[in-house]
Amino acid sequence: MLLAEFDPALNAVIDPDMVIKAVPAFPETVISVFSHHLFRAILDFFGGKQIAATHDADDDWPVYMD
């Protein structure tokens, strides 16, 4: 079973840094929200400045930092 196995290798078959560049000053910890309504409510409440964006088949996903 996959959950019972552990691979001690430091590198995966495909690591993120193989396909994308690091974003300068990107926060170490982030919160991911997939509901546009919840995302807007959190942004309205906490505020923040957009520092980056990601993109997938569904939409562009901005990354904010306060």
> The domain containing residue 36 runs over which residues?
9-65
Model confidence pLDDT, tens digit, residues 39-63:
889 899 999 899 888 888 888 888 8
pLDDT of residue 61: 82
Nearest partner of 50 among 38, 60, 59, judged by Cα: 60
Q: Which two tokens stand for residue 40?
A: 């807007």
Beta bridge partners of 36: none
Domain total in the chain: 1
> pTM (2 decimals)?
0.57
The answer to whether residue 41 sits within a structural domain is: yes
The answer to whether residue 3 sits within a structural domain is: no
Beta bridge partners of 54: 61
Residue 51's φ and ψ, nearest 5 degrees, are -115, -15
The answer to whether residue 2 sits within a structural domain is: no
pLDDT of residue 1: 52
